[in-house]
Amino acid sequence: MSLETVGKEGETTLSRKDFASDQNVRWCPGCGDYVILANMQKAFAKMGDKKENFVSISGIGCSSRITYYLDTYGIHSIHGRAIAVSTGLKLANPKLNVWTFTGDGDCMAIGGNHFIHACRRNIDLNIVIFNNKIYGMTKGQSSPTTPLGTKTKTAPEGTYENTFNIGEVAISSGATFFARVPDNNHALLENVMMEAYRHKGVSVIEVLQNCVIFTDGIHEIITGKDTRDDNQVLLEHGKPILFGGDKTYGIQADGMKLRKTEISDPDNLNGSTLVHDAAEADTAMHVALSRMQLPDHPVASGIIRNVESKSFDSSVHETIENVRKNRTYDTVTDVFKSGNTWDIN
């Protein structure tokens, strides 16, 4: 174990190298997964938790290979079941620092039911969704996030299914933490991972991840160097929602809708522009922000929702403890002997 980086969240001293396994990384050159892995290793080192408390759990897909590349306890589970496995593990040992890695297909299709109930229950899991809007490992089939009209192996004439918006699904299902991050923003990605770790309850991170083989450039208009200022807005709690190269555009509320507006003086807003409140308990504004899409609105990135609420695992264990304190019988044998009994010779 090296002693290169001091953990800022606790006393344990670890470095990124401590979370790098001895396995060769087998993603395609240029894949956005490399960025997620690197920042996950750096974030793990800063958490200050004991290494034996980290657990990485994944389902099936390119994203799910990450469990081999993180030197932690890990489970490479079956398709769509990573969150179910993570839930069982967290309930069995709430002290574990559980991270679930999944893709847009693995999570939103076959794993969709587990996802919405994890959000509903608010179990203290960290769920990282690699969203490249395609099934990559199985060679380019449409996923629930593939844009309408996209030509894929399963829709050669163009995808004709409506898509899921991951943020809308998560927040509407009860998620208390949701963030969206482009895979090329290293600093934001690491910061969001740290905030997810600090959050007590379900944390969902959608990473806009590029697949260089099947959907290369799928997020380019949002994440590209020449286009991101106008097409992406970075939300910061307590700050006005501004975007554009010179912050000359803002987001205002127009009844129940959001609209983009031009700002003549960014230093004198006069309350006309929305101020982001990630801690607002009501979900309406956070859902609206997560739903913003081009060309009418910029796409929101950063932490969209971060609300305090009791976690499912803490409620379960409090219930167990209360039952134990108030129990009438200590053992199953006591229960069997509590009523009329007979000796059979």
- Is 71 in contact with 21 (CB distance < 8 Å)? yes
Global pTM reads: 0.92
Q: Which residues contact 249 (CB under 8 A, 6 or more apart)?
A: 230, 242, 243, 260, 261, 262, 263, 298
Nearest to 218 by CA among 319, 287, 130: 130
Q: What percent of the chain has pLDDT over 70?
A: 95
Q: Which two tokens mark 236?
A: 């910061």
Burial of residue 239 (number of CB atoms within 10 Å: 0-12, 13-18, 19+): exposed
pLDDT one-digit tens code per residue, 287-296: 999 999 999 9
Q: What is the pLDDT of residue 9?
A: 59
Ranges 25-29, 72-76, 127-131, 334-338: which has the least confidence:
334-338
For 225, phi then psi, to 5°, come to: -55, -40
Q: Which domains does the chain have, with CATH numbers?
A: 16-239+276-317 (3.40.50.970), 243-275 (no CATH)
- Is 102 in contact with 60 (CB distance < 8 Å)? no
Q: Is the pLDDT of residue 312 over 50?
A: yes
Report how far residue 105's alpha carbon sits from residue 28's, in angstroms, rounded to the nearest whole number.
Answer: 18
pLDDT one-digit tens code per residue, 5-28: 444 555 568 999 999 999 999 999
Interhelix angle for 33-46 vs 186-198, to 10°? 50
Question: DSSP string of 160-198?
Answer: -S----HHHHHHHTT-SEEEEEETT-HHHHHHHHHHHHH
Q: Is the pLDDT of residue 267 over 80?
A: no
Report how far residue 310's alpha carbon sits from residue 200's, in angstroms, rounded to the nearest whole number.
Answer: 8
Report how far residue 278's alpha carbon sits from residue 303's, in angstroms, rounded to the nearest whole number.
Answer: 7
Which range of 136-140, 287-291, 340-344 scores highest in mean pLDDT? It is 287-291
